Amino acid sequence: MQAVDIEKENKEIVSRYRKLLKYAKPILKDDDAKIIRKAFNMSLLAHKDMRRKSGEPYIYHPLAVAQIAVEEIGLGTTSIVAALLHDVVEDTHIELQDIEREFGTKVAKIIDGLTKISGVFDHGSSQQAENFRKMILTLSDDVRVILIKLADRLHNMRTLGSMPREKQLKISSETIYLYAPLAHRLGLYAIKTEMEDLYLKYTNTEIYKDIADKIKQTKAARNKFIKDFITPIYKALEKLGVEFKIKGRPKSIFSIFNKMKKQNIPFEEVYDLFAIRIIIDAEDLESEKALCWKVYSVVTDFYKPNPDRLRDWVSTPKGNGYESLHTTVMSKLGQWVEVQIRTTRMDEIAEKGYAAHWKYKEAGKEAKELPTETGLEMWIRKVRDLIEHNDSSAIEFLDDFRTNLFNEEVFVFTPKGQLKILPFGATALDFAFEIHSKVGSQCLGAKVNQKLVPLSYILNNGDQVEILTSSKQKPNEDWLKFVVSSKARSKIKEALKEQKKLVASDGKEIVVRKLSQMKLELTNEVINQLLLYFNKKTPLQLFYEVAKGLIDARDIKKFRDEKEVKKPLDKRDLIDLPRVPTEIRKTIANTDMLVIGDNLDKIDYKLAKCCNPIPGDDVFGFVTINEGIKIHRTACPNAVELMSNYGYRVIKAKWTAQQELAFLAGVSIIGLDRVGMANDITKVISSEYKVNMRSITIDTNDGMFEGKIMLFVQDTKHLDKLIMKLGKVTDIISVNRIDNQ
């Protein structure tokens, strides 16, 4: 064990504390420095015997969170105090009352919002989802809870290297599932980008390193290109007498990876690897828009713009407050380049999001500027509305909330010309609920630009929408298939639940009547037994299906005739592994690692069909309710959601060294259609690599062909060699593994 140099650590703690004060100095008032000192001392004392997984003193973490809050988000004294104390209630002897007594109600409320929930949860829920919900609920009271939580999560991601592998996967998945979209929605682009890159670093390390290395290798050529590109713009703007800065910004590793995956292209073919950002100083708000367009005119004097790639978020800012003018122009070397034009104010809002927006909003009050409600405030108002009218489960709530996080927007108008901002893909029915929940519930159809359209009509930018209603209309289950906004979804679910409750009350009477014939009362224990017997999640669902005749009332008697009456779940089962077989639960408790391929008589595990893992893939085991353990690739499309909401049901897994097993994998091939191509492909597969094929399909179109081959391989090395060999066949353009078969 390495000896700890206490003196050196103490010096480092003091150094980090001074750095925090240095960055906070411009915003400190009156006794703020004393309050921060008091919070620091309390945190230092509370965490004095605690260390992080890396071996460092625990106090480094709250100091780092406070540093991110002030330096990278731009928060003030209350947030610094809350950040320094954010873990004390959860991890130490200090209680919330102590915080309130020493630092007041505001700080105590923020820390309460940051403290995880403990206790027993509803059947079918998850502790992680409940904690997410608690945190999101505080958004309606104090957005600082979310901002500090983002700072906390960012520091955890930056120090993830010292955590065990399964923790890295769980924390990374939660981050990409909720925290990165939240940072994006609150306008914190720098934090969102770093979170995404770190997610990729820990879930797909090889790809992350490969892209990072290639960005590094192309740096010199890229810098020369940027210099040549901006020189004429630089000179022209100087002549105009405009105060400005020009930056060349490389695209994030995660966004490059996404583009490669989405377009199925190698790194070398990603044309927009970077963007040029022109930041201009404007004298006042009135001149900003005109100045941005003036700079746009200068840029397009030298380079031809792509008319389909102009994005004007200066005239109509994004819902999270983002303002900028984006255009893509053709350089002299025949390469497309994205140019972003914005003012200093816009740039600060783009980098620091909500906190910067609030700073300018407060300044605007004094100068009688920015009087209208911004997109960000409208979104927070919508979140409040969603929270107030939502009684669904934590996982459902989270799902509804997430639908509104990453969506782009569509801008439409009411008949009187009022602008409404909705999520991209919104329908006429979403618009109706945006006007009012009663209008939505009674919506029959709509007129878009004076033409009649159905409820499912997808709105386009600039549409003018008039809603047609009828008092006889009411929501139905099909409506959920074509609404995208969380407000519409929650209102429809609410109405359906009310309708269901009316039907279910009849079902409840039938159940009570049948039970009384059996000399039984409808107690909680009996309800739990009925739910288990009929495999239903809630009493409402059970009563509803009885009323509708989907469950035969005569079958209610049968549950008592079973030789062994099923006992209701024990409370620990509700928290941990609902209805998971005992032998699997014991295995999780007694083993650190599931070895796939070992002779495990008692453990039922299957390879997940959603990602078809093969030996060599990075995998994890997931405990299902009815199908034992399923093995998923860490790159599986479903991995993020499984690990985010059910991290406690994830088991570490690895492949055994045995080679005699064959696993099904899929390969897609694109190439030029020619005589003998199919023969050349099958020759490589069957003759050279002695691989058994299960199926091959080839479609040809205008001299090109696209093929899909399902074959049996031993492991990833075997598959990679085969893909490389197929890629060398004449006239084949690309060969890729298929993730979903």
Which residues, at least 6 apart from 317, have a Cβ–Cβ distance to it below 8 Å?
A: 323, 374, 375
Neighbouring-strand partners of residue 328: 338
For the cut 60, the answer to whether the pLDDT of residue 741 exceeds it is no
Task: Say whether both 668 and 648 belong to one domain.
Answer: no
Domain assignment present for residue 548? The answer is yes
Task: Say whether both 133 and 272 belong to one domain.
Answer: no
Give tens-digit pLDDT for 671-684: 888 888 888 888 88
The total of structural domains in the chain comes to 5
Task: Say whether both 312 and 182 belong to one domain.
Answer: no
Model confidence at 124, in pLDDT bands (50, 70, 90)?
A: very low
Task: Say whether both 279 and 338 belong to one domain.
Answer: yes
For the cut 80, the answer to whether the pLDDT of residue 434 exceeds it is yes
In this structure, of 173-182, 209-218, 600-609, the range with the lowest mean pLDDT score is: 600-609
Q: Alpha carbon of 671 to those of 270, 665, 721, 723: distances in Å?
A: 20, 20, 19, 14
Q: Alpha helix (H) ranges present in 320-470?
A: 344-366, 375-388, 394-403, 428-435, 437-441
CATH value at residue 130: 1.10.3210.10
Task: Say whether both 102 and 237 belong to one domain.
Answer: no
Please, are residues 707 and 635 in contact by the beta-carbon 8 Å criterion?
no
Q: Does residue 268 have an active-site annotation?
A: no
In this structure, of 91-105, 394-408, 491-505, the range with the lowest mean pLDDT score is: 394-408
> What is the mean predicted confidence (pLDDT) over 462-484?
87
> What is the mean predicted confidence (pLDDT) over 81-108?
88
Where do the DSSP E strands lie in 417-474? 419-423, 443-448, 451-453, 465-469
pLDDT at 385: 60
> What is the mean predicted confidence (pLDDT) over 359-377?
50
Model confidence at 208, in pLDDT bands (50, 70, 90)?
A: very high
Give tens-digit pLDDT for 696-713: 888 887 778 888 888 888
CATH value at residue 336: 3.30.460.10
Share of the chain above pLDDT 90, in %: 12
Domain assignment present for residue 609? The answer is yes
Nearest to 125 by CA among 404, 532, 397: 397
Which two tokens mark 594?
A: 């599931």
Mean residue pLDDT across the chain: 79
> 31, 91, 552, 627: which is the annotated catalytic residue?
91
For the cut 90, the answer to whether the pLDDT of residue 155 exceeds it is yes
Most confident of 133-137, 290-294, 721-725: 290-294
Domain assignment present for residue 441? The answer is no
| CA pair distance 139, 702, nearest whole angstrom | 54
SS (H, E, C) 639-659: HHHHHHHCHHHEEEEEECCCC
Which residues, at least 6 apart from 517, have a Cβ–Cβ distance to it below 8 Å?
A: 557
Greatest CA separation found in the chain? 94
Q: In terms of pLDDT, which residue wins out, 454 or 400? A: 454
> 31, 32, 49, 90: which is the annotated catalytic residue?
90
For the cut 50, the answer to whether the pLDDT of residue 440 exceeds it is yes
Give tens-digit pLDDT for 288-306: 899 999 999 999 999 999 8
Task: Say whether both 13 and 148 belong to one domain.
Answer: yes
Which structural domain, as residue segments, surrounds residue 536?
495-573
Nearest to 650 by CA among 608, 693, 612, 701: 608
The alpha-carbon radius of gyration of the chain (Å, integer) is 30
Task: Say whether both 687 and 564 belong to one domain.
Answer: no
In this structure, of 190-204, 438-452, 479-493, 554-568, the range with the lowest mean pLDDT score is: 554-568
Give tens-digit pLDDT for 213-228: 988 888 888 888 888 8
Q: Does residue 91 have an active-site annotation?
A: yes
Most confident of 65-79, 526-540, 640-654: 65-79
Domain assignment present for residue 595? The answer is yes
